[in-house]
Amino acid sequence: MRVVFLDIDGVLNSDRFFAEHPWPDGASWWSAAAIDPAAVQRVNALVAQTDAVVVLSSSWRKRASLDELNELLASRGLARPVIDVTQSLYRSVDGVRLTRGDEILAWLAAWSGPMVEAFVALEDEEALGAVEPRCVRVDSLIGLTEGDVERASRMLLG
Ligand SMILES: [Mg+2]
């Protein structure tokens, strides 16, 4: 199994997207208005090319249930539902601040489904610690690009 750990802010949206799409009056941040359908299509392309599953690492996972997030993402064109979200970890028992990378590693350690042969994290700004070598850094000014998808695809298909 191949896994794409997906951030939302700065990846499925961007400064450019918000500049080109005026914010609807009264829309909540955690809504379809903040998801760029073009970026979602790039995730679809990555998933199709690599037969990967998507796990959300975005802080959006703390705002809505997996079903609600899938409904929202499907409304913006996501072809295959997200299978899970990473755990929320803050500090280790000895008080060390944990990163989104630690949350990804914890998900992988807890996963009991098919063996994960490769994974990649699409992330714009969060520190990933030990997962950094598996990260495709996305530029939040423009969001997920075709070049990012190519890099992620190469990392997944190795
Ligand atoms: Mg982000």
pLDDT of residue 123: 98
Q: Spell out which residues have Cβ within 5 A of ligand 1, the ion.
A: 7, 9-10, 124
Q: How far does residue 92's CA lie from ligand 1's centre (Å)?
A: 22
State the distance from the centre of ligand 1 to the C-alpha of 89, rounded, in angstroms.
17
- Report the percentage of the chain scoring pLDDT > 70: 100
Fold of 2-157: Rossmann fold (3.40.50)
Buried b / exposed e along 125-151 (16+ C-beta atoms within 10 A)? ebebeebeebbbebbbeebbbeebbeb
State the distance from the centre of ligand 1 to the C-alpha of 157, rounded, in angstroms.
24
Q: How far is the CA of 11 from the centre of ligand 1 (A)?
A: 6
Going from N- to C-terminal start, the domains of the chain cover 2-157
Q: What is the pLDDT of residue 83?
A: 98
Flag whether pLDDT at 93 surpasses 80.
Answer: no
pLDDT, residue 95, reads 81
